[in-house]
Amino acid sequence: MNLKNKITAITAVLFLTIISISTAQKSSTDVDNREKLQFGFKVGADYSNVYDASGEEFKADPKFGAAGGIFLRIPFGKYFGIQPEAVISQKGFKGRGTLFLDTYTFTRTTTYLDVPLLFELKPSEFFTLVVGPQFSYLLNQRDQFTSSANSYYQELEFEHSSIRKNIFGAVGGFEINLKHIVLGARVGIDLQNNNGDGTSTTPRYKNVCFQGTIGYSFYR
């Protein structure tokens, strides 16, 4: 299944989820908390891959990772707000390509500190749309190679690559609010590729990540 079909399938599932929860909420007597300052934490999973990739016969498949962090909801009236976050996010991919005339396969796991600044649109008390810029800082990167004739030299080349630590991107999605419980789904994309100077022979790419989380929100 290609990336376009995956996005379509995920969108369909999320849409059905919204409809189901919307129907259940119609009979609820919950208090509207859209104008309250809220603070919370969340945990979840990432489903990540790369796009706009360039490299010698480089191909990549997605992988799962963990995610978790904190958020703050600052209301500006009933229907708008700002939501800054700090999230530790595991991204990466399973890659294969050619380097030094020999094929390689490896799994890359990257751990980022993602700091999105999200703008909220709150059409109802249980549903929030979020979109905004995201700053990501690379905390750790781990590559696991399969053995090959040139695996040692390939690993050295990857280790010595100029990797960008600071990456600017964008994120968008929605949240479902069930009293203190917050269910979130979003997609984030890098707007810069991973290479710092663009001269490395290792693959250049941009991350794309689907994220689902469950959180708990505190408010008064």
pLDDT at residue 83, as a whole number: 97
Cβ atoms 143, 156 nearer than 8 A: no
Cβ atoms 53, 204 nearer than 8 A: yes
User: For residue 181, which of 217, 127, 138, 136 has the smallest C-alpha distance?
Assistant: 217
Residue 149 confidence class, pLDDT cut points 50, 70, 90: low
Residue 151 pLDDT exceeds 50: yes
Residue 2 confidence class, pLDDT cut points 50, 70, 90: low
- How many angstroms separate the CA atoms of 153 and 163, rounded? 18
pLDDT at residue 95, as a whole number: 80
Residue 25 pLDDT exceeds 90: no
Q: Does the structural domain 3-219 have CATH classification 3.30.70.870?
A: no
Cβ atoms 107, 82 nearer than 8 A: no
Residue 167 pLDDT exceeds 90: yes
Q: What is the pTM of this model?
A: 0.79
Which two structure tokens, joined as six digits, stand for 214? Answer: 């469950």
User: How confident is the model over 171-214, as pLDDT tens digits?
Assistant: 999 999 998 999 999 999 999 888 766 555 667 888 999 999 99
* The three-state (H, E, C) secondary structure of 31-73, written as one string: CCCCCCCEEEEEEEEEEEEEEEEECCCCEEECEEEEEEEEEEE
Query: How many other C-beta atoms lie within 10 A of the C-beta of residue 73?
Result: 26
Cβ atoms 83, 121 nearer than 8 A: no
More confident residue, 27 or 80: 80
Query: How many other C-beta atoms lie within 10 A of the C-beta of residue 135?
Result: 14
More confident residue, 57 or 134: 134
Residue 27 confidence class, pLDDT cut points 50, 70, 90: very low
pLDDT at residue 42, as a whole number: 97
Strands 127-145 and 181-190: unpaired
User: How confident is the model over 83-97, as pLDDT tens digits?
Assistant: 999 999 999 888 877
Which two structure tokens, joined as six digits, stand for 57? Answer: 């016969």
Which two structure tokens, joined as six digits, stand for 216? Answer: 């708990």
What percent of the chain shows pLDDT beyond 90? 50
